[in-house]
Chains A and B, each alone.
Chain A
Amino acid sequence: MKMFVTPGYAQEAAPAEGGAHDAAAGADASHGTETHASTEHGKGEFPPFNPQYYPSQILWLAITFGLFYLFLKKVVLPRVGGILEVRRDRIAGDLDQAALMKAEADAAVAAYEQELAAARSKAGAIGQEARDSAKAEAEAQRKVIEKELESKLAESEARIASIKSAAMNEVGSIAEDTAVAIVQQLVGGKADKAAVAAAVKSARE
């Protein structure tokens, strides 16, 4: 560094600065004392090694650092520690609460699922019941109607039978009348009704 510094300042023709640089570089300060510009440090010593102000620096360091230490220890650090503690507690509490809520939500979902299943099976049962009762009713109605129809059929058959027998009875008298009329036309005169009737009867049998 010295090699760079010295020519730069030499060109500038400022011997006072050159002397100060020599002191900085640790070279013997007497080298440049004849033009030593720094009147402030009197003896021309390197300031950090000048013991003149050591007592003052130690005293003021003790005062400032001591007060700083006490202030931090009594006020600032408990406060920051408290803030961090509160936050940690809060986060832990929130996490616990979140876990609790999640468990609650899970329980609610499970209850919902259960209820849903119950409702579904109930709905199935109701539907089955409705289907069964509807079927039974339809069956009953069908039976009633069938019975009705059967009775109607029987009635009709009876009527047909009676009509038929009535018709059969009338067939005899018609045949008799017809036979009487035919005999009268063919033979002339009156035909014996009783004989005709007997003849018809024998013919029908």
Chain B
Amino acid sequence: MANDPIHQFQISKLIPIEIGGMDFSFTNSSLFMVLTAASAGAFLYMTTSQRGLIPSRLQSISEMSYEFIANMLRDAAGSHGMKFFPLVFSLFMFVLVANLWGMFPYFFTVTSHIIVTFALALLVIGTVIIYGFLKHGFGFLKLFVPHGVPGILVPLVVMIEVISFLSRPISLSVRLFANMLAGHITLKVFAGFVTSLSAMGAVGVVGSVLPLAMTVALTALEFLVAFLQAYVFAVLTCMYLNDALHPGH
């Protein structure tokens, strides 16, 4: 069982809760969501509690992440986009911290479940659609009609634009989910090679050096992916929000 690379994605009930026939149990996934939100919130809260004019190291981590996301959003969506800053920052921090907690052995990776990433993607797209219609009314639909397209091509282009818009929540969620899932499976498989080869005697022990080195390298890669996917998620969120703010391109 220890070598089963899928086992790490198992959900187990910790506190069974059932409301109206639906299973809302507090599971290990819920536990890690709470851990993610609590640790990220506590880190940001505690590191900035000194309000130092000259920041400590930890305070500058909080400040750097703040300015990183603020610049990203301002570049992508302009200064009007700053009203979505709390959303983008929360998404980035939540995904990043969830990914990083998932790097601990035996820990559950919240973002390795498609339903979680899909819910987050729907939150983004839902915000884009609702804000777009509230702000621009039906003018928001101009998003699907790019400027300077010849009349005959308009139906085709509109169809492509609509399909591309509808596929956004899917691509946004599957990208994060698949990266985390595949990375963790690969890591586990290579780590499994080490144990199974070592069990084969002296030759196996020597041979297991290669997958061990691979595991170490993959761990580093996974840390990069953990950050990168949170970054990609935040960047795409910024770009989609830009569509809601400026639908006319």
Contacts and interface: CB of A to CB of B under 8 A. Distances in A.
Query: B-side binding surface: helix, strand, loop or mixed?
Result: helix
B5 interface: yes
Contacts of B22: 55
Contacts of B44: 72, 76, 80
Given A47-B9, A55-B23, 12 more contacts: A5-B189, A8-B197, A20-B4, A24-B6, A38-B7, A53-B23, A53-B29, A57-B29, A58-B115, A65-B33, A80-B66, A83-B63
Which of under 10, 10 to 19, 20 to 34, or 35 or more describes the interface residues of A?
35 or more
Interface of A: 1, 4-5, 8-9, 11-12, 14, 16-17, 20-21, 23-24, 37-38, 40-41, 46-50, 52-65, 67-69, 71-73, 75-77, 79-84, 86-87, 90
27 contacts: A11-B196, A12-B196, A14-B3, A16-B4, A21-B189, A23-B6, A38-B1, A38-B10, A40-B10, A46-B6, A47-B9, A53-B23, A53-B27, A55-B24, A56-B11, A56-B17, A56-B25, A56-B27, A59-B24, A61-B33, A64-B37, A65-B94, A68-B37, A69-B90, A72-B89, A72-B90, A87-B53
B165 interface: no
Contact of B185 (A24, A57, A59, A86): A24
Given A1-B189, A21-B5, A48-B177, A53 B11 contact: yes
B53 A76 contact: no
B66 A47 contact: no
Central interface residue in B53, B90, B112, by most chain A CB within 10 Å: B90
Contacts of B51: 79, 82-83, 86
For the complex of A and B, list the 3 residue pairs with the smallest distance between their C-beta atoms, beginning with the closest.
Answer: A60-B30, A68-B37, A73-B86
Nearest to B21: A55
Query: A-side binding surface: helix, strand, loop or mixed?
Result: helix
A41 B7 CA distance: 9
Given A48-B9, A48-B177, A90 B29 contact: no
Contacts of A37: 1, 4
B48 interface: yes
Interface residues of B, number: 64
Central interface residue in B17, B26, B189, B193, by most chain A CB within 10 Å: B189
A129 B110 CA distance: 96
B68 to A, nearest CB: 12
B7 A8 contact: no
Contacts of A54: 115
A80 B63 contact: yes
Contact of A12 (B48, B52, B114, B199): B199
Central interface residue in A54, A55, A61, A82, by most chain B CB within 10 Å: A61
Contacts of B86: 69, 72-73, 77
B4 A58 contact: no
Interface string B66-99: 1100000000000000000111011001100000
A190 B181 CA distance: 178
A14 B9 CA distance: 21
Contacts of A90: 53
A113 to B, nearest CB: 38
A136 to B, nearest CB: 71
A49 B116 CA distance: 11
Contacts of B34: 60, 64
B246 interface: no
Given A76-B41, A77-B86, A80-B63, A48 B112 contact: yes
Given A56-B23, A57-B113, A77 B29 contact: no
Given A47-B113, A58-B119, A77-B66, A72 B4 contact: no
Given A1-B186, A38-B1, A61 B119 contact: yes
